A and B are shown apart, each in its own frame.
Chain A
Amino acid sequence: DQQVKQNSPSLSVQEGRISILNCDYTNSMFDYFLWYKKYPAEGPTFLISISSIKDKNEDGRFTVFLNKSAKHLSLHIVPSQPGDSAVYFCAASASVNDMRFGAGTRLTVKP
């Protein structure tokens, strides 16, 4: 029962360009959405979040967009840097013990 889906397992972009990572969810009870970043051999680290009362949240180079009607969110990274190369997990929750993660998208930023 995959309630959070990241349909692109990988994404490759050129340094300086925009990276767009997508995430879809099915559970309309989700009201809080997060993106985590994971480097190899490390745990996921929190990157940015958005609550369902907003449609955009920006933090430096990172912006998360939420489209509730489409049950879709995306993470924009601009400009992309080689150090952004990692696996990005989308997560959604209605309560902390109901936080569901997507399968992740591996981003490669080429210099």
Chain B
Amino acid sequence: NAGVMQNPRHLVRRRGQEARLRCSPMKGHSHVYWYRQLPEEGLKFMVYLQKENIIDESGMPKERFSAEFPKEGPSILRIQQVVRGDSAAYFCASSPSTGLPYNSPLHFGNGTRLTVT
């Protein structure tokens, strides 16, 4: 019963390094969403992807952040030249491809906690 799988669970990077966060959606789900949770804050939408397509990246910072969801393999959230302010929990969610998307509750992974030292 594989749910949304995220890895790594914890990632430590020094300032200036790159962080790669991976997300495999639930079986049969072709919509992937990335959210960021800063300390004491709610989940903030970052990007919505379907296979090989970025649908909405309005929540992504304009620089250093990118996301992809290739035809094969997991979705990747990439943060280049990380800074301390990038330290947060990053959650991936997926939803089925059928039905009205906004009526389908999102299924979340357990998140990746990024710490930038």
Hey, which bits of chain A sit against chain B, CB under 8 A? Answer: 4, 6, 9, 32, 34, 36, 41-46, 49, 51, 89, 91, 93-104
Contacts and interface: CB of A to CB of B under 8 A. Distances in A.
Contacts of B55: 97
Contacts of A104: 42
Contact of B43 (A9, A32, A89, A97): A89
Contacts of B43: 44, 89, 91, 101
A43 B42 contact: no
Given A96-B95, A97-B55, A103 B42 contact: yes
Interface residues of B, number: 29
Contact of B33 (A4, A36, A97, A100): A97
B102 A96 contact: yes
B109 A43 contact: yes
A14 to B, nearest CB: 26
B101 interface: yes
Nearest to B59: A97
A75 to B, nearest CB: 15
Contact of B102 (A36, A41, A99): A99
A32 B103 contact: yes
B36 to A, nearest CB: 11
Contacts of A89: 42-43
Contacts of B91: 43-44
A43 B102 contact: no
Contacts of A93: 102
B63 interface: no
A103 B41 contact: yes
Contact of A4 (B42, B93, B101): B42
A91 B43 CA distance: 9
Given A96-B31, A96-B95, A96-B101, A46 B42 contact: no
B105 A46 contact: yes
Nearest to B48: A97
Interface string B19-55: 0000000000001010100001111110010000001
Contacts of A101: 35, 42-44
